Amino acid sequence: MTRMPPSVGTVVDWAAGVMFRILFAASVLFLVIPIVVSVVLSFDDRQFLGPFPPTQFSLRWYRSFLDNPAYLEGLIVSLKLAVLSTLISTAAGASAAYVLSAGRWPGRDVVEMLFLSPKFVPTVVIGFSILGFASAIQVFDPFTRLIMGHVVITIPFTVRATLASLIGIKRSLMEAAISLGAPPWRAFLDVTLPLARTGIVAGGLMAFVLSFDEVAVSLFLSDPFTQTLPIVLVAEMRANLNLTVAAVSTVFAAVTVLIVFFLDRVVGLDRVIGQGLYRG
Amino acid sequence: MNSSGLDVVNVVKRFGDHAAVDGASLSVKDGEIVALLGPSGCGKTTTLRLIAGFEALDAGTIAIGGADIAKLPPYRRDIGLVFQDYALFPHLTVADNINYGMKQRGISKIKRDSRRRELMRLTRLEGFDERRPLALSGGQQQRVALARALAISPKLLLLDEPLSNLDAKLRETLRIELREILRGVGTTTLVVTHDQTEAIGLADRIALMNRGRIVQIGTAREIYEEPATRFVAEFIGRSIWFPGHLKQGTHGAEFLTDDGFALRINAPANARAVNGLSIRPEHVRLSARPNDVSRIPATVMSVEFFGAELIVACRLNSGGRVIRIPIRTDDEAIPVAGASVELGISPDRCKVVADD
């Protein structure tokens, strides 16, 4: 018996398997390991940036983080900003997605493109443009400016995620509710909103994470008295580089992971039911 | 005027240049079941959406119980609608689906529960209260949709292709079941369908629609026996169509077909432009009786066996056209291929109509 030459399919499968392993290794190497290193370093007892791994551990950098009011203020600004801009972006994005999915009208694609465009414009450009626009309309409050900027950069994500979930909802469901006596707004609240919830929450989650660690736009829109945590982090790193930065990064990462984990449990559970909903 | 009958008068709906509904008129009497039957694209679905209020009229009137509803928004029309895909709310239980319309009307929980139980008994859904719609079979889903539409005690019930989503085997049983439920409720009902069996099986009368207009309304039998146009004759049942023209013969009215036959007809030639004659294949006799006045000499081409019936293909000696005639398997004389026959046609079976 001669051996069969490997078929094209087998070769492609094999190549895909190898590619996957390489990508996986690369993401561990460049994404996970640096975070682990920075988490370990944040517990380093040494006064200087010594070679890895640390020889002694302590919580001194966390103490230094809590002793520096700039970090705490930055954290509070970042959280307030992320919560507010997520709420605004989710409400606006979900409404926009609803209008976009409701039907076809002239210019619809252009409007959709406009809502998604901040994704493709460099954030530096967005930051500078909003700074100029804010002063043109006499808005000088940095927090308001930051909200404007963060809503703009997060809205493509809330629009996209909501659009994706709205596509799965049949038009006849709304019409059924209306024919049963519900005015359109009521039918929307009773039918469309519960069925689109997965997408809306997912979009909001992305918006939150995006806003929470945004640097470029915030750099333009903040002022010395209202700074987000990433901005404080960058400034401190420039001024006096010590391992407080590692401690702050660890807290920062932990907050993000916690929020993602918490929301994913809510959304994740919902999605299990959600798939059952849209099937058939 | 009907107490809660439906009157659709000269309704027009245009999409751009195309008139999807082009002056359609029909009425459904109080408590009557009418099927709106037609091929796909004939405008029947648009008509249903106009009645339900999801499309705005361009011209005409729609009235229920004599009151014009064309200006009312769809949620104030009191029309129960059963969608083709049922459109059950997937995130609500069967009970909440049925309750939905009653809740919108502010009906008390006690009344809601008793009405729901009554409807669930009627539609044989007892015990399914807490189920999700997608955990039900197609037939059960349809009954939930029906119960939900009936829960609001609608003045009019609209059914959009009610059986098209169901398994072909189940369709027959479910059609009979659906008819019994509709009869029991007694609500004025309009069924939109493209399937003549569905229309005949469910409705008291059938409104046949073609190219945005209602071409004929009547009982299934009336439409079958007296088709108004060639379209009707060919859409309902089978038809043999002879193009030709009318002529006043020596013994009465005659129809001269283009392939050279003179067929005696009964129907008086009316003012309408008649340019064809329709006859049901089962009304053509394979061997003419002595008193048949209209005879067509033909040659048997083939005989095909279809269980209960045989289909005899005959070539007409003049013109060479082949027509297919069904005969019963237990008929005495089954012809053989190549045999010469004289087809007999009774004057009262010949329907002269316009080719539309």
User: Which chain B residues are closer than 8 Å to A182 by Cβ?
Assistant: 75, 100, 104
Structure confidence at residue B35 (pLDDT): 95
Dihedral of alpha carbons B278, B283, B288, B293, sign: negative
C-alpha span between A41 and A33 (Å, rounded): 12
| Structural domain contains residue B347 | yes
C-alpha span between B153 and B126 (Å, rounded): 20
| Structural domain contains residue A89 | yes
The contacts of residue B140 (CB under 8 Å, 6+ apart) are B125, B128
Q: Do residue B22 and residue B95 come from a single domain?
A: yes
Q: Which of B196, B230, B264 is the last residue of a domain?
A: B230
User: Which chain A residues are closer than 8 Å to B89 by Cβ?
Assistant: 173, 176-177, 190-191
| Structural domain contains residue B316 | yes
Q: Does B83 touch chain A (CB under 8 A)?
A: yes
Check B148 against A278: CB less than 8 A apart.
Answer: no
Q: Does A172 touch chain B (CB under 8 A)?
A: yes
C-alpha span between A84 and A78 (Å, rounded): 10
- Which pair of structure tokens corresponds to residue B97? 């689906």
Structure confidence at residue A267 (pLDDT): 63
Question: Which of A184-193, A227-236, B335-344 shows the highest mean pLDDT?
Answer: A184-193
Check A186 against B101: CB less than 8 A apart.
Answer: no
Dihedral of alpha carbons A206, A208, A213, A215, sign: positive
Q: Name residue B174's amino acid.
A: L
Average the pLDDT over each of A231-245, B264-278, B312-326 and give the range with the smallest value. Answer: B264-278
Name the residue facing A180 among B132, B134, B152 (closest C-beta).
B152
Query: How many domains does chain A divide into?
Result: 1
Do the Cβ atoms of B70 and B11 come closer than 8 Å? no
Structure confidence at residue A266 (pLDDT): 67
| Structural domain contains residue A152 | yes
b/e code A137-172 from CB counts within 10 Å (16+ = b): eeeeebbebbbbbbbbbbbbbbbbbbbbbbeebbeb
Structure confidence at residue A225 (pLDDT): 83
Where is pLDDT greater, at B333 or B300? B300
Q: Do residue B215 and residue B287 come from a single domain?
A: no
Name the residue facing B91 among A175, A178, A277 (closest C-beta).
A277
Do the Cβ atoms of A52 and A37 come closer than 8 Å? yes
Shortest CA distance from A176: residue in chain B: B87
Q: Which residue has the tokens 């005879």?
A: B295
Q: Do residue B254 and residue B210 come from a single domain?
A: no
Structure confidence at residue A4 (pLDDT): 61
| Structural domain contains residue A156 | yes
Q: Which residue has the tokens 């929020």?
A: A259
Is residue B12 predicted with pLDDT exceeding 50?
yes
ipTM of this predicted complex? 0.85
B94-113 confidence digits (pLDDT tens): 999 999 999 999 999 999 99
* CATH classification at residue B194: 3.40.50.300
Determine the average pLDDT of the residues in A259-263. Answer: 75
DSSP B133: G
Distances (CA, A) of B266 to B49, B237, B241, B277: 42, 22, 17, 12
Name the residue facing A179 among B81, B90, B132 (closest C-beta).
B81
Q: Do residue B119 and residue B159 come from a single domain?
A: yes
Shortest CA distance from B91: residue in chain A: A277
Shortest CA distance from B89: residue in chain A: A173
* CATH classification at residue B256: 2.40.50.140
Name the residue facing A173 among B52, B87, B149 (closest C-beta).
B87
User: Which chain A residues are closer than 8 Å to B74 by Cβ?
Assistant: 175, 178-179
| Structural domain contains residue B289 | yes
Q: Does A8 touch chain B (CB under 8 A)?
A: no
Separation of CA B327 from chain center: 26
Check B101 against A180: CB less than 8 A apart.
Answer: yes
Within B123-226, residue ranges assigned H as helices are: 138-150, 168-185, 196-202, 220-225
Is residue A270 predicted with pLDDT exceeding 60?
no
Structural domain of residue B113, as residue ranges? Answer: 6-230
Residue in A180, A190, A277 to test binding to B, most B beta-carbons within 10 Å? A180
What rounded mean pLDDT belongs to chain A? 84
Rounded to 10°, the helix A69-102/A244-278 angle is: 20
| Structural domain contains residue B1 | no
Structure confidence at residue B330 (pLDDT): 72
Q: Do residue B204 and residue B250 come from a single domain?
A: no
Q: Which of B230, B251, B276 is the last residue of a domain?
A: B230
B190-199 confidence digits (pLDDT tens): 999 999 989 9
b/e code A251-265 from CB counts within 10 Å (16+ = b): bbeebeeebeeebee
Q: How many CB pairs under 8 A join A and B?
A: 71
C-alpha span between B270 and B274 (Å, rounded): 8
Q: Does A268 touch chain B (CB under 8 A)?
A: no
Q: Do residue B201 and residue B244 come from a single domain?
A: no
| Structural domain contains residue A231 | yes
| Structural domain contains residue A91 | yes
C-alpha span between A50 and A244 (Å, rounded): 14
Is residue B76 predicted with pLDDT exceeding 90?
yes
The contacts of residue B142 (CB under 8 Å, 6+ apart) are B82, B86, B162, B165, B166, B174, B178
A62-121 confidence digits (pLDDT tens): 888 888 888 888 889 999 999 999 999 999 999 899 888 877 788 888 888 888 888 888
Structural domain of residue A85, as residue ranges? Answer: 68-278
Is residue A269 predicted with pLDDT exceeding 60?
no
Q: Do residue B164 and residue B66 come from a single domain?
A: yes
Q: Do residue B177 and residue B48 come from a single domain?
A: yes
Is residue B271 predicted with pLDDT exceeding 50?
no
**Helix (H) and strand (E) counts for chain B?**
8, 20
pLDDT range class, residue B120, cuts 50, 70, 90: very high
* Nearest residue to B83 (alpha-carbon basis) of B135, B167, B160, B168: B160
Structure confidence at residue A280 (pLDDT): 32
* Nearest residue to B235 (alpha-carbon basis) of B219, B215, B255: B215
Q: Do residue B217 and residue B148 come from a single domain?
A: yes
User: Which chain B residues are closer than 8 Å to A275 by Cβ?
Assistant: none
| Structural domain contains residue A103 | yes
Distances (CA, A) of B297 to A55, B150, B187, B302: 113, 58, 53, 16
Q: Work out the burial of residue A3: count CB atoms within 10 Å of its CB; fewer than 13 is exposed, 13-18 middle, 19 or more buried.
A: exposed
Q: Does B75 touch chain A (CB under 8 A)?
A: yes
* CATH classification at residue A123: 1.10.3720.10
Residue in A179, A188, A190, A272 to test binding to B, most B beta-carbons within 10 Å? A179
Check B132 against A278: CB less than 8 A apart.
Answer: no
Shortest CA distance from A276: residue in chain B: B134
Check B85 against A172: CB less than 8 A apart.
Answer: yes
| Structural domain contains residue A38 | no
User: Which chain B residues are closer than 8 Å to A276 by Cβ?
Assistant: 90, 132, 134
Q: Do residue B177 and residue B90 come from a single domain?
A: yes
Query: How many domains does chain B divide into?
Result: 2
What rounded mean pLDDT belongs to chain B? 89
Determine what percent of chain A falls in helix, strand and coil, rounding each to the nearest 5: 80, 0, 20
A138-167 confidence digits (pLDDT tens): 888 889 999 999 999 999 999 988 888 888
CB atoms within 10 A of CB A124: 12
Residue A114's φ and ψ, nearest 5 degrees, are -60, -45
User: Which chain B residues are closer than 8 Å to A177 by Cβ?
Assistant: 89, 100
Question: Which of A102-116, B222-236, B316-330 shows the highest mean pLDDT?
Answer: B222-236
Task: Give percent of chain A above pLDDT 70.
Answer: 92
Q: Do residue B175 and residue B225 come from a single domain?
A: yes
Residue in B100, B158, B192 to test binding to A, most A beta-carbons within 10 Å? B100
A5-30 confidence digits (pLDDT tens): 667 778 888 888 899 999 999 988 88
Is residue A1 predicted with pLDDT exceeding 80?
no
Q: Which residue has the tokens 């059950």?
A: B88
User: Which chain B residues are closer than 8 Å to A169 by Cβ?
Assistant: none
pLDDT range class, residue A277, cuts 50, 70, 90: very low
Check A276 against B134: CB less than 8 A apart.
Answer: yes
pLDDT range class, residue A245, cuts 50, 70, 90: confident
Structure confidence at residue A273 (pLDDT): 41
Q: Do residue B205 and residue B268 come from a single domain?
A: no
Do the Cβ atoms of B262 and B242 come closer than 8 Å? no
| Structural domain contains residue A173 | yes
First vs last Cα of chain B: how many Å apart?
32
Q: Does B85 touch chain A (CB under 8 A)?
A: yes
Structure confidence at residue A2 (pLDDT): 54
